[in-house]
Amino acid sequence: MERREFGITVVSPAAFVLALFVLWELVCRVFNVPLTILPAPSDVFAAMWQYRAPIADNSFVTLWTTLAGFLIATVFGLVLGIAVGWHRAIYAGIYPVLIGFNSIPKVAVVPVLILWFGLGEIPAVLTAFLISFFPIVVNVATGLATTEPELEDVLRALGASKLDVMKKVGIPRSLPYFFGSLKVAITLAFVGAVVSETVGSNKGIGKLMLDAQAAFQVPIVFAGLLVLAVLGIALYAATAAIETRFTGWAFRGQANR
């Protein structure tokens, strides 16, 4: 990597994060903010270290429920997206239902899921899935719908079936849309899992934070928030890396400087 490049992509975000923490610390110290309102970063990191075992334990649960929900959403979203993009009748039939479903706040669904599946990881997985499949469906369908008509003509004139057109053009063409939507979906899945844990669960970061809050252990609550932020960034970065790996051609402007 070039030095200038390194400066922009590594040093700059690190410096920004550091500055944010320093500012936070200063505000807490100067105004003497009580620990129960806003703990300083030093208190938060201390709590994180002290309770590292339960934090790691619960992070792991949140992580795997998120990933499980995300995987189901990916498969389901891809299949439904292709179905919706395949034919206008399917599109017209499914779309209103999809939008209606997507408008329901998922917090409201969690109690129902707990009623059906009991406390535990399953409601978290399902909430993560339910909240994150929508952008995948919409993006895949959009990718398919925006196939150039001339290109379709070229193939159809050769006697290509609808399936051929999908396989040769539609699906490869919608891959950048698909991977783009994965970045959105992974963060949503994460939110879904944590929301479900907060509403009712016996494990996970959400549950840990809820318990800490009840016990006025505010530094632990903030430690939980920090862990969530870091996990969120990591998951996003992983999906973004997969995206560039598979659809490099769509990023030609950046890849071929």
Partner 1 sequence: MPESFVEIESVDLAYDKESGNAIEDVSLAIREHEFIAMVGPSGCGKSTFMKLCSGLLPPSKGTVVVNGRPVSGPLKIVGMAFQNSTLLPWRTTLQNVLLPLEIVEPYRSSFKQKRAEYEARASALLKSVGLEGFEQKFPWELSGGMQQRTSICRALIHEPEILLLDEPFGALDAFTREELWCALRDLQAERNVTVMLVTHDLREAVFLADTVYVMSSRPGRIVRRCEVGIPRPRDLEVSYTQQFQDVVHELRQLIGGQH
Q: Applying CB under 8 A, which residues contact partner 1?
A: 148, 150-151, 153-160, 164, 168-169, 172-173, 175, 247, 249-250, 252, 256
Please spell the DSSP secondary structure of 161-210, one letter per residue. -HHHHIIIIIHHHHHHHHHHHHHHHHHHHHHHHHHHHHHS-SSSHHHHHH
**Least gap, CB of 164 to partner 1 (angstroms):** 6
Q: Which is nearer to partner 1, 4 or 252 (CB)?
A: 252
Q: Give the length of the chain.
A: 257
90, 172 Cβ separation under 8 angstroms: no
Q: Using the minimum distance from each CB to partner 1, give the nearer residue, 174 or 239.
A: 174
**What sign results for the dihedral spanned by CA atoms 187, 191, 192, 197?**
positive
Sign of the torsion angle spanned by Cα atoms 241, 233, 57, 122: negative
The smaller minimum CB distance to partner 1, of residues 115 and 255, is found at 255
- Shortest approach of partner 1 to residue 197 CB, angstroms? 40
Q: Measured between alpha carbons, how far is 201 from 6 in angstroms, rounded to an integer?
A: 43
> Using an 8 Å Cβ cutoff, are 22 and 42 in contact?
no
State the nearest-atom distance from the C-beta of 138 to partner 1, in Å.
22
Nearer to partner 1 among residue 63 and residue 250 (C-beta): 250
* Secondary structure element (H or E) that encloses residue 79, with its range: helix 52-86
Residue 189: name the closest of 240, 121, 230, 133 by CA: 133
Residue 2 or 150: which CB sits closer to partner 1? Answer: 150
Residue keyed to tokens 């009748």: 89
Least distance from partner 1 to the Cβ atom of residue 151, Å = 4
Nearer Cβ to partner 1, position 169 or 189? 169
Vertex 79 angle, CA 75 and 82, to 5°? 140
- What's the token pair of residue 19? 């500055």
Q: Find the shortest distance in angstroms from Cβ 152 to partner 1.
A: 9
Q: How far is the CB of 240 from partner 1 (least distance, A)?
A: 19
